[in-house]
């Protein structure tokens, strides 16, 4: 094209040089004006070519010989318009973003970031954040937006912090709402993650202490109230309370409930032994209900082992009393009943507990069988003596 243009104009290179100069001048003017308008000075090969080509061709025509002033002005005017439109609307790459699209996004972001954030519009962080596509295509434009976006993000993070500091841990709806909005804020504005995470940790500790105090007010052995406490506590799982604090509170409550059950057993066994045994069995079953399944540990193991060992020791003492009086069948009956009632708990506590139950039951079974075989099964108590 350049060779053909040169031949058309003979040996006079001025029209060609003027066209090149016009294209260069148009390029620098376009970049400067775009920068002054606040849209950066990003340059892309496709857009530069689209800008320069109309100016160059228009210059070749306008600066050719024997052109009237009106024609020169008209051609240059059309060339400038086409060049400006190409600069604004040509994508930065195939299927990419144009300056017009980038400017529209930038204006929207400026308008959104100008509004002070509240808890209600914190969730609109996506509309304020600089999109990755804009940063990749027009980095200088994105860099100009970033300070105002960062200021908005910091203010939004402070709103979230204030809400976490004031919300009651038992207000499940409010906690869930704050958590969901904080998630959206940190998703689209990573610069807020540390601030929000610190607020969440502080709320987590405060929430855990709140629920631990709530559990402390539940009477020992009131497992129904314990389950109700768990349901209320689990309703605030959007932000999980400090697991260590809650786990310790639960263990302490179960330990205290086991001690209370043992105290009641010791009080009842002298007057109502059957009811006393039921006290321990019922407590063990209640703990099974509140325990969460775990593959690597036994929930509340220490308390459950203490309850199991106490029940086993008391039953052994009762069995031994029957054996000493010769009531082997009754000893076997007590041992068998105990084994049935505690077999589920023993299977959870492990093979040693299961073996202890089996040994006591089978030992009593053997004594009862031998006594029956030799026909020496005495009465449970000796007959009264007669006076001489």
Burial of 256 (0-12, 13-18, 19+ CB in 10 A): middle
What is the per-residue pLDDT for 63? Answer: 82
Alpha helices (runs of H) in 90-217, residue ranges in sequence order: 99-113, 119-122, 125-128, 132-137, 139-166, 172-188, 193-216
Q: Rounded to an integer, what distance in angstroms lies between the CA atom of residue 195 and that of residue 184?
A: 14
What is the per-residue pLDDT for 238? Answer: 57
What is the per-residue pLDDT for 195? Answer: 93
Domain borders along the chain are: 1-90, 242-374
What is the per-residue pLDDT for 323? Answer: 82
Q: Rounded to an integer, what distance in angstroms lies between the CA atom of residue 156 and that of residue 126?
A: 12
What is the per-residue pLDDT for 94? Answer: 83
Q: Is the four-CA dihedral 163, 164, 165, 166 of positive or negative sign?
A: positive
Say whether 98 sits in a helix, a strand or coil: strand
What is the per-residue pLDDT for 382? Answer: 45
Place of tokens 């775990």: 294
Residues whose CB is less than 8 angstroms from the CB of residue 37 and which lie 6 or more positions away in sequence, other chains included:
none
Phi (first) and psi of residue 32, to 5 degrees: -65, -45
What is the per-residue pLDDT for 384? Answer: 46
Name the stretches of the chain with pLDDT < 50: 1-3, 5-6, 8-10, 376-388
The 10 Å Cβ neighbour count of residue 255 is 15
pTM score of the predicted model = 0.68
Tokens of 323: 């054996």
**Contacts by residues 376-381 (CB-CB < 8 Å, ≥ 24 positions apart):** 377/326, 377/328, 377/329, 378/325, 378/326, 378/327, 379/326, 379/327, 380/322, 380/325, 380/326, 380/327, 380/330, 381/325
What is the per-residue pLDDT for 75? Answer: 84
Residues whose CB is less than 8 angstroms from the CB of residue 198 and which lie 6 or more positions away in sequence, other chains included:
161
């Amino acid at each position: 094209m350049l060779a053909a243009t040169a031949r058309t104009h003979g040996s006079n290179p001025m029209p060609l040089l003027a066209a090149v100069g016009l294209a260069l001048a148009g390029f620098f003017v376009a970049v400067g004006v775009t920068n002054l308008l606040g849209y950066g000075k990003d340059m892309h090969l496709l857009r530069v070519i689209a800008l320069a080509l109309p100016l160059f061709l228009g210059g070749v025509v306008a600066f050719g010989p024997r052109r009237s002033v009106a024609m020169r002005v008209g051609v240059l005017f059309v060339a400038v318009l086409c060049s400006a439109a190409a600069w604004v609307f040509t994508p930065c790459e195939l299927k990419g973003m144009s300056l017009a699209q980038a400017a529209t996004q930038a204006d929207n972001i400026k308008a959104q970031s100008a509004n002070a954030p509240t808890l209600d519009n914190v969730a609109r962080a996506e509309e304020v954040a600089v999109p990755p596509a804009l940063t990749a295509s027009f980095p200088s434009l994105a860099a100009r937006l970033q300070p105002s976006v960062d200021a908005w993000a910091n203010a939004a993070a402070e709103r979230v912090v204030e809400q976490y500091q004031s919300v009651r841990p038992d207000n499940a709806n409010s906690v869930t709402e704050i958590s969901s909005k904080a998630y959206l804020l940190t998703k689209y504005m990573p610069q807020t993650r540390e601030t929000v995470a610190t607020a969440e940790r502080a709320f987590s500790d405060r929430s855990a202490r709140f629920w631990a105090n709530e559990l402390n007010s539940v009477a020992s052995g009131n497992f129904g109230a314990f389950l109700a406490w768990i349901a209320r506590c689990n309703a605030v799982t959007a932000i999980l309370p400090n697991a260590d604090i809650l786990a310790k509170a639960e263990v302490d409550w179960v330990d205290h409930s086991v001690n209370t059950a043992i105290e009641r057993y010791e009080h009842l066994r002298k007057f109502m032994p059957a009811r006393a045994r039921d006290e321990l069995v019922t407590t063990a079953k209640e703990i099974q209900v509140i325990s969460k399944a775990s593959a690597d540990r036994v929930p509340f193991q220490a308390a459950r082992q203490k309850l199991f060992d106490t029940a086993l020791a008391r039953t052994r003492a009762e069995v031994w009393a029957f054996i000493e009086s010769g009531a082997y069948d009754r000893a076997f009956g007590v041992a068998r009943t105990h084994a049935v009632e505690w077999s589920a708990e023993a299977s959870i506590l492990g093979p040693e507990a299961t073996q202890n139950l089996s040994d006591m039951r089978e030992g009593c079974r053997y004594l009862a069988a031998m006594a029956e075989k030799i026909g020496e099964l005495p009465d449970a108590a000796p007959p009264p003596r007669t006076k001489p």
